[in-house]
Homo-oligomer: A and B are copies of this chain.
Amino acid sequence: MERYNLVVLGAGSGGLVVAAGGASLGARVALVEKHPIDYPGPSGSVRAMGGDCLHTGCVPSKALLRAAKAAHEARETSRFGLAGPGDPGPQDLGAVMDWVRSRQTAIAPHDSIARFRELGVEVFEGEGRLESAHEVTVNGTTLRGRHVVIATGSRPRVPKIPGLAEGGFLTNETVFGLRKLPASLVVIGGGPIGVELGQAFARLGSKVTIVSKTPHLCLKEDADAAVVLEKKLLEEGLSLFEEAAPVRVEAGGGVKRVTVRRKDGVETTVAADEILVAAGRRPNVEGLNLDGVGVAHSATGIRTDARCRTNVSSVWAIGDVAGAHLFTHWASHQAGVVLKNTLFPVALARCDAGNVPRVTYTDPEIAHVGLTERAARESGIPFTAFRAGFDRNDRSVCEGDSGELFSKILVGSQGRILGATIVHPRAGDLLAEIVLAKKQDLPVSALGSVIRAYPTLSEIHGAVAREVLKTALTPGRKNLLASLAAFLRR
């Protein structure tokens, strides 16, 4: 039986980082992936791992959003005084999906089986199953690992709605296979995947309706951020049902009819060429034989401690299957934690759960790190929220950004940064500096002490820091300063 330092189940973002990192640190690594995909390459096809992120998640969705943004902006050139084409009408989705595929093809070699074998990782194609705390079988072969890392990811959760299965629906796993733009699309779910794809299809020319059971889209975010996005989506012609649930689907005559019930009981029926289900995720735990080996898990995934260890000490779980934060970057971060804990056993590395940014890649983007106002209030943590609007950021004005875009930082005692939310088309990148400051435990004043290139969007951080500073200028201090100035000018 082959002996490995690490046997990794699942070659998505988490598994790939464990495997590549482990191999580079001299460990012997087996990587088991059941679903690689072939992408055409300039010199033959590339068999790529990468999981949801590359095949059906971040990569195709961000490429689709980029194309949709270009379509939207081309429609809007007249506001700059430019001769514009006007509205080109619904786009050829097949051609757009070719662009999306081209982006996946560009990234695929980095996640290819060939590349990982070159890195020294032993890749096994097939379904892995735990046989004991140290043993995994794949295609009849048994791999013995000092440690076993489960990184099998998640898949769409499909709500039980009468008629939905019969009527047919799309998820993130199938939507990028569409070649014909649906004239109308109902999106079930108002979370990041639903709003991102909903806005993209609307910009490409679909009539889009988003049905969200929560009172605002992007439930995790503070309402002030969500409403800015909601306004923009409404302006762009999307229909939103909030605090509402689809209660049945009827299909017939080539169209699906989704009946939505609002909180007040009122029902509305919306016709749709296609239905996109984006109503949460389920961990991929089936077939792993977790119960046989005694690995504890629940509906949200495998239970782990802050070091990513399960209740079975040689078994670790990271990424979506562990259920905490369902982000590629969280999976990669956890991969680093597991590498330290398994290959340098004295490391005792822990996940940095307080400093995980998240971005909803709509236009505008909503980017967040740390505590929201709601979470801070619910936890009873004292804070003051300081805001600055992009309507006073000269670059934003020069670029003609629209909507009530803002940055908000929650400040605790001693000027500590507790959390931040930015709503702006480039919020995700702008947030990075605050994440660094928070991680380094710099006071919010540090954001105000740097020279920022004018005119850049990043000046917004200085603007928020100045709001904090203003609170130091109390009337008493102002009087004192005026007296000092009067003395000095004698």
Contacts and interface: CB of A to CB of B under 8 A. Distances in A.
A74 interface: yes
A13 interface: yes
Interface stretch (A37-45, A63-71, A246-254, A261-269): A63-71
B398 A451 contact: no
A26 B481 contact: yes
A68 to B, nearest CB: 9
A91 B59 CA distance: 35
A328 B329 CA distance: 37
A392 interface: yes
B367 A453 contact: yes
B82 A77 contact: no
A358 B25 CA distance: 39
Contacts of A76: 70
A66 B103 contact: no
A356 interface: yes
Contacts of A83: 88-89, 91-92
A3 interface: yes
A440 interface: yes
B25 A454 contact: no
A236 interface: no
Contacts of A451: 329-330, 333, 352, 355-357, 435, 439
Interface string A58-100: 1100110011001101101101111111001101101111110
Contacts of A398: 59, 62-63, 66, 103
B429 A458 contact: yes
B59 A359 contact: no
A222 to B, nearest CB: 18
A206 to B, nearest CB: 14
Interface stretch (A212-220, A375-383, A442-450): A442-450
A5 to B, nearest CB: 5
DSSP majority for the A interface?
A: helix
A419 interface: no
Nearest to A76: B70
A429 B430 contact: yes
A26 B484 CA distance: 8
A395 interface: yes
A13 B452 CA distance: 14
Interface in A9-29: 13, 24-28
Contacts of A77: 70-71, 74
Given A81-B99, A82-B70, A446-B436, A13 B488 contact: no
A449 to B, nearest CB: 7
Contact of A485 (B26, B437, B473): B26
Contacts of A489: 3-5, 27-28, 146
Interface string A330-372: 1011000000000101000000100111110000000100000
Contact of A355 (B28, B106, B450): B450
A483 B458 CA distance: 47
Given A398-B63, A428-B458, A451-B333, A74 B73 contact: yes
A461 B436 CA distance: 11
Given A80-B96, A99-B79, A358 B450 contact: no
A234 interface: no
A457 interface: yes
A159 interface: no
A399 interface: yes
B82 A91 contact: yes
Nearest to A437: B436
A296 interface: no
Nearest to A435: B450
B59 A455 contact: yes
A490 B145 CA distance: 10
Which of A367, A449, A456, A489 has its CB near the most chain B CB atoms (within 10 A)? Answer: A456
A478 B25 CA distance: 7
Nearest to A428: B456
A432 interface: yes
Nearest to A461: B432
A433 interface: yes
A189 B430 CA distance: 33
A431 B457 CA distance: 11
A432 B455 contact: no
A198 B6 CA distance: 56
Q: 9 closest pairs, A vs B, by CB?
A: A26-B482, A81-B95, A85-B85, A432-B458, A26-B481, A67-B80, A62-B398, A328-B454, A81-B96
5 contacts: A80-B96, A81-B96, A106-B397, A359-B453, A432-B433
